[in-house]
Amino acid sequence: MGLFIFLVPYVLGGLGAGDVKLLAAIGAVKGAKFIFMDSLVVTVVGGLISLFILVINKRLSILINKLLYKSSLEDLSQKNGKNSFAYGVAITTGTWIILLYDKLQL
């Protein structure tokens, strides 16, 4: 299930193969219900990390202007630049959040 959820972002170039394999492994161990909730939390955590990076690099205003005026986002997607991060951080953080939430629900 983890493989299928993040297969589209991988095909579009947004995630690496290691990220997809990590989610597939988590899904194989914890099951489909867990990986569905985990993928939602991972997506939110990844978005928050991305916003934080844009704010730190003073690029958030550029993103907002480009979204409002429907122009190209090409110059914001620097894979080797300072606007990218290892998505494994979001995957790990989101998974720990769900694990702790499940543990506290007893």
pTM of the model: 0.75
Using an 8 Å Cβ cutoff, are 2 and 23 in contact? Answer: yes
pLDDT, one tens digit per residue, over 24-78 is 999 999 998 999 999 999 999 998 988 888 777 777 777 666 666 666 655 555 5
| Residue 90 to residues 55, 70, 83, 99, Cα–Cα distance (Å) | 17, 28, 15, 14
